[in-house]
Structure 1
Amino acid sequence: MLNPGFHQIPRGMVATVVTHLEMVTPPVATTVAHNFTFTRHTAADHDWYRTLFRAVGEDWLWFSRLHLADNVLTAILHDPDYEVWTLQDQGRDIGLLEIDHRTQGACELAFFGLTPESVGKGAGRVMMAQAIARAFTRDINRFHVHTCTLDSPQALPFYTRAGFIPVKQEIEIAPDPRLTGHLPATAGAHVPVFK
């Protein structure tokens, strides 16, 4: 338990406040006209996946998948209860959407993001409609997601507009992926590096 006040973060680490959100029933579905397409990847190659993961998440210091051994990542990506989708614009992958049904009665929006050049063009709303529809294809009592202060400042308001309700916060401290070599030194320019 943290006491009120400041707490020094060890050098070589990054710290973030993580907000957990959930929805227990799907909101009323709305149709958004678009020219995007979705592709589900049931046997995603781990190298292809990591390339897209970096393209979407590098600016926000997404690193959790980069630490996994190939066989561990492949087992997740190939699990029949784990859905990997890409949003495509004219055949090009511009968004990553991951739906995790591996826990009975719940579904996690495990990853959700767009490539930087695709932000602000309505693609996020289209992806969220797909995420909600996919989550509630099964009998679940909660659909949950988390975001953090390393993510885009647009993420938390976007999730609440989509119908998610904040339910708790945590502080996460992890090795800085720019210092471990998992991401380039230029990643996450909004977060200082402390060697």
Structure 2
Amino acid sequence: MELTTWYLEQTDPSRIRPARQPEVPVEIRRAEVPSVELNRYLYTAVGGGWHWTDRLGWDWQQWQDWVTAPGVETWMVSVRGTPAGYAELDGRTPGEVEIAYFGLLPQFAGQRIGGHLLTTTLTEAWRLPDRWPDRPPVGRVWVHTCSWDGPAALANYQARGMELYRTDVTSVDEPAATPGPWPGANRP
């Protein structure tokens, strides 16, 4: 089967187009205390239905190295105290920030939470050097998404002011099923 991967970027914070407010009250906060367990939970809960498998084999130390790397941040959105989704920012490369992972838990899709979270994620990506003074100013925020990701992903990135700069189409073996957030919990 064909897998399409889209690469998008933003080169100026003035290009952020804010989303409308979510349909439910939300809170977005940075996880200031790095937590292997939190990040692995969010990764599997959000990505389990979208073929996110690249980190499933990571051991505790690999997760620890990731979440404690200077310039790496986790931002979580919650609804009445319940985690609803997250974004991981990777600011390790001087002058740029990658939105490494972004998404919502399935029960929170369709409530305008994703657009609001992305607006905040982009804003905080541009402000990353404020929190990491050893980092140079950000000149570019980028992300990639693919045809296996959520159906609203590409449109959300573009609606928030990110511009497509590359598209790759590759042939891949179709996976039998998504891994789900835990064994046997696949989503259709």
The amino acid of 2:140's aligned partner reads: R
Partner of 2:75: 85
Alignment of 1:67-106 (within 5 A): 67-106=57-96
Secondary structure at the aligned position of 1:68 is classed as: coil
CA–CA separation in structure 2 for the residues paired with 1:180 and 1:114: 16
Q: Is the 8 A contact 1:46 1:73 kept in 2?
A: yes
Q: Is the 8 A contact 1:85 1:96 kept in 2?
A: yes
Q: Is the 8 A contact 1:22 1:142 kept in 2?
A: yes
Deviations 1:102-153 (A, max 9, x none): 0001110111100111111121122111111111113112110000010112
The amino acid of 2:186's aligned partner reads: A
CA–CA separation in structure 1 for the residues paired with 2:158 and 2:180: 34
Partner of 1:20: 7
CA–CA separation in structure 2 for the residues paired with 1:156 and 1:122: 15
CA–CA separation in structure 1 for the residues paired with 2:124 and 2:94: 15
5+ long unaligned stretches in structure 2: 130-136
Partner of 2:149: 151
After alignment, is 151-160 or 39-48 more displaced? Answer: 39-48
Q: Is the 8 A contact 1:81 1:100 kept in 2?
A: yes
The amino acid of 1:24's aligned partner reads: T
1:167 aligns with 2:165: yes
The CA RMSD over aligned residues, in Å, is 2.8
**Judging changes above 3 Å, is the alpha-carbon distance between structure 1 residues 30 and 20 closer, same or farther for their aligned structure 2 residues?**
closer
Partner of 1:12: none
**Judging changes above 3 Å, is the alpha-carbon distance between structure 1 residues 42 and 72 closer, same or farther for their aligned structure 2 residues?**
farther
**Judging changes above 3 Å, is the alpha-carbon distance between structure 1 residues 102 and 177 closer, same or farther for their aligned structure 2 residues?**
farther
CA–CA separation in structure 1 for the residues paired with 2:83 and 2:187: 21
The amino acid of 1:103's aligned partner reads: T
TM-score w.r.t. the length of structure 2 is 0.80
Partner of 1:4: none
The amino acid of 2:83's aligned partner reads: D
Look at both structures and tell me which one has the larger radius of gyration over its CA atoms.
Answer: 1
How far does residue 25 in structure 1 lie from its aligned partner after superposition? 0.8
Partner of 1:3: none
How far does residue 87 in structure 1 lie from its aligned partner after superposition? 0.4
The amino acid of 1:64's aligned partner reads: D
Instruction: Report how many aligned residue pairs link the two structures.
Output: 176
How far does residue 67 in structure 1 lie from its aligned partner after superposition? 2.2
TM-score w.r.t. the length of structure 1 is 0.78
The amino acid of 2:7's aligned partner reads: H
5+ long unaligned stretches in structure 1: 1-8, 10-14, 190-195
Q: Percent identity?
A: 26
Q: Is the 8 A contact 2:85 2:103 kept in 1?
A: yes
Q: Is the 8 A contact 1:67 1:182 kept in 2?
A: no
Partner of 1:116: 106
**Judging changes above 3 Å, is the alpha-carbon distance between structure 1 residues 140 and 159 closer, same or farther for their aligned structure 2 residues?**
same
